[in-house]
Amino acid sequence: GMFAPPLPQNKIQAIDAVDMPPGFRILFEMKDKFYPDATVDNGICGQIMDGDEVCAIYDPLYGKNLPSDGQNVLAFVAIGNKYADLGELNDEELASAALAKIDKYFDGKGTKNHIKHEVQNWTQEPFILGSYSFPCDPKHNKALGETVGGKLLFAGEHTSIKYHSLVNGAAMEGRRAAVKALANHLKK
C-alpha cells in the first residue's frame, strides 16, 4: 500500500465511503461579456434533483471587488460521472468541447469572443484525482480528519464536517491540521 505502516481500518473505510467524482473547470478569457452571471445545465431544479452531477457556466469575477480592467472571464465547470469522458481528454480537446457547449448556449458567441483559456482538470491531477467530496455521513469526515499515530494528519474539504465540498472548509481544515501539527511538535 501507499502507507507504511498501513492506515487504520476506520481511515480506509472512510476513504472508501467518501465519493469524489471526476471534474474540471476551464476559465475562458473573452473579448465581450455576452453571458449572464450564471447558467446551469438542466436548470437549478435539475441540479437540486441530481446534485451528484453539476455543469455550470458562470462569471467567476461576479461579486468580486476587483479593479475594473475590462477583463471578461467565463468559467465552465463540470462535475460527476456524466462528464467523466470529457475529463479524459487532453487540455486542448477539453477546452474545445467546453467551448462548443458554450457556443450551443450562447449562439456561437463563445468561439467568436475566445481570447485564451486555462484548464484545471482535477481528475488528471495526480494528488487530487477528482473534484471535491460529496456529502456523506459526517462520521467519515471526522474519521478522515483524525491524526494517525500522532504524526500523520489529513486535511482538506473532505475532513470538514460543516463545510465539506467547499474551499473555506479546505482552508479551515488546513489551519486545524497545521495547529495540531505544531502542538504535537511542541509536546516533544
- Name residue 121's beta-bridge partners: 24
**Residue among 134, 40, 137, 16 at smallest CA distance from 81:** 134
Nearest to 2 by CA among 88, 127, 144: 127
The pTM for the full model equals 0.77
- The per-residue DSSP string of 147-187 comes to -BTTTB---SGGG-SSSTTSHHHHHHHHHHHHHHHHHHHHH
Query: 7-32 pLDDT, tens per residue?
Result: 999 999 998 998 888 999 999 999 99
Residue 57, all three cell numbers = 457556466
Q: pLDDT digits over 50-92, tens only?
A: 556 788 888 988 877 766 677 899 999 998 888 889 989 999 9
Is it true that the peptide bond before 5 is cis, omega within 30 degrees of 0? yes
Q: What is the mean pLDDT of the chain?
A: 86
110-146 pLDDT, tens digit per residue, is 999 999 999 999 999 988 888 888 778 889 999 999 9
HSE of 86 in the Cβ direction (CA atoms, 13 Å)? 27
